[in-house]
Amino acid sequence: RAGRAQLSYRQLNEQANCLAHHLIDLGVRPDQRVAICVERGLSMVIGLLAILKAG
């Protein structure tokens, strides 16, 4: 839960997986640096988890 927005663990996992697959499609590989620039909140959590999942 971030502010008023909230996600279940299942929704968090689904959104992070979707973004992770997109990052992989863009060429992100293990041990590659990926920058993230978002305000604190659900987008940050989803983005960080997706980056970890991508490699």
Residue 28 inside a domain? The answer is: yes
**What pTM does this model have?**
0.86
Residue 1 inside a domain? The answer is: no
User: Is residue 2 pLDDT above 80, yes or no?
Assistant: no
Residue 2 inside a domain? The answer is: no
User: How far is Cα 1 from Cα 34, in angstroms, rounded to an integer?
Assistant: 24
**What total of structural domains would you count in the chain?**
1
Residue 36 inside a domain? The answer is: yes
Residue 31 inside a domain? The answer is: yes
Q: With 0-12 CB in 10 A as exposed, 13-18 as middle and 19+ as buried, what is 3?
A: exposed
Residue 41 inside a domain? The answer is: yes
Helices (H), 1-55: 9-25, 42-54
> Domain span at residue 34?
9-54
pLDDT digits (tens, 9 = 90+) for 4-28: 788 999 999 999 999 999 999 999 9
For 2, the 3-state DSSP assignment is strand
Residue 4 inside a domain? The answer is: no
Tally of CB atoms within 10 A around 48 = 14
